[in-house]
Structure formats: C-alpha cells, structure tokens
Amino acid sequence: MKKWMWWGCAALAVVNLSACDPQKDAVDAEKTVVSDFESGTDDWSGDFAEYSTQQDDIMEFKLERASLPAALDASKKAMKIEGHNRSDDMFMYLKRKVTGLDPSRTYKVTFEIDLGTDYPANSVGIGGSPGSSVYLKAGASPNEPVKKLVDDFYTVTIDKGQQAVGGKEMIVIGDVSNGVEDFVYKLVKRTNSETPVSVKPNANGEIWLCVGTDSGFEGKSTLYYDKIKAVIK
C-alpha cells in the first residue's frame, strides 16, 4: 500500500510540474501591442487596394509617419494615410506581425484605435458622407495581408468584407466621423471590446494585425492613426 501511495504522489508531482512549465506559460501568455508612433513606426507598414491599374496615377496615395494636425497636437506623431477614392471602393490599411503565439490555440483579439479625423457624420460628399460612409475595420490573420493584382484590379488577401459589411478576418468597428458637426480635427476612439476577432496563428506562431478604412465616399480621405492597441489572448 505504501508503495502505491508513493507512486501516486510522484505522478501527481509530475503533473504539477508539467502544469507549471515556464515555456508553455510563455507561449500561452496574453500579448499586448501598443503603438503610439512617437519614436517610429513600431513595425507597422501599409498599402492600398481596390482600384484598377488605370487609376494608379490618380489615387493620390500617401502613407507616412507625420505630426498630428495643429488642431490636435503637432508635437505628437501619428501614422498618416490618405488617398482619393476614384474607384468607388478604396481600401487603405496598416499591418503588423505578432510572433511568439501557440499555433495550436485560437486567440481573441481586441483593438482600441485613437484616430485623428475632421469629417462630421452628417457631412455630404460624392457617393456618401466623408465621415459616416468611410468604415473603419480591424482584424487579424495567420497570413500577411498583401495587395494582389487580379484582372487589372488590385485586391487584398485578407477577408475584410465590403464597405459597411465585415468579413471573416476583419470586422467593422465604426466609421471615421469626428463626433461634432463641423469640419475640425478631433481624436476619436474606436474599439471592438464587445466583439473580439478570432484568429489561429500559423505554424510559426505568427499572426498579422490589420486596421484600415473601406470607403464609400468618392473623395479624398486623410486620416491619422495616433495610437493602436491590440490585446491578444
């Protein structure tokens, strides 16, 4: 009897040690990405999609790390992105790789985005409102979102849905309206805290975060990503 009791205790000790394996805890730990762009791009890059090759020279795309507008705080930096939606359906996006995740697990991702915008919700523009017809989306994928040319039209590989409708990998978390009735720059916060995005990492334990705007407004949009926070757990 004493012999069996000893083996039982030894087995229990092995189970407890396994449960406290520090390497396993490392890949299972919650990861948080917070980028405020004060000292650099923090590994965020971006691109543009959903337009034809014939429109290459007229979309007025620009992506750069720049100062916030003076009406906000010109001493602070942000990721500035802009384009002129001459294709009726322009997608402008940022992306960032996250490593060190467990390939066997599915993660939930929530975002908080501080966005500099000067477009009122009730404003009128060609094709739609420059505020409420430009949809902000956020999500994640095991594969890098890249621009892809299909029959002279640039698409993007992440499943983002179409304008006001989200996709399997990106969801709509709001629009780019500034919350007031005038064309003045405001910082607005958008989040999907109540509707996290599910993602399973690739075999290397990697996912790609992606945020962007899907535009139904057929004019020029200029936006400032002041801060992007993503919690992965």
In-domain check, residue 55: yes
In-domain check, residue 109: yes
d(CA 64, CA 33) in angstroms, rounded, equals 20
* Structure confidence at residue 29 (pLDDT): 67
Could you report the per-residue pLDDT of 175-189, keeping only the tens digit for each? 999 999 999 999 999
Say yes or no to pLDDT of 61 above 70: yes
- State the total domains in the chain: 1
In-domain check, residue 47: yes
Task: Return the CATH number at 68.
Answer: 2.60.120
| Range(s) of the domain holding residue 186 | 30-232
pTM of this structure: 0.87
% of the chain residues with pLDDT over 90: 80
* Structure confidence at residue 70 (pLDDT): 96
Identify whether the C-beta of residue 161 lies closer than 8 Å to the C-beta of residue 228. no
Could you report the per-residue pLDDT of 110-134, keeping only the tens digit for each? 999 999 999 999 888 776 788 899 9
Average pLDDT of the chain, as a whole number:
89
In-domain check, residue 210: yes
In-domain check, residue 10: no
Identify whether the C-beta of residue 198 lies closer than 8 Å to the C-beta of residue 108. yes
**31 burial via Cβ count (<10 Å: 0-12, 13-18, 19+):** middle
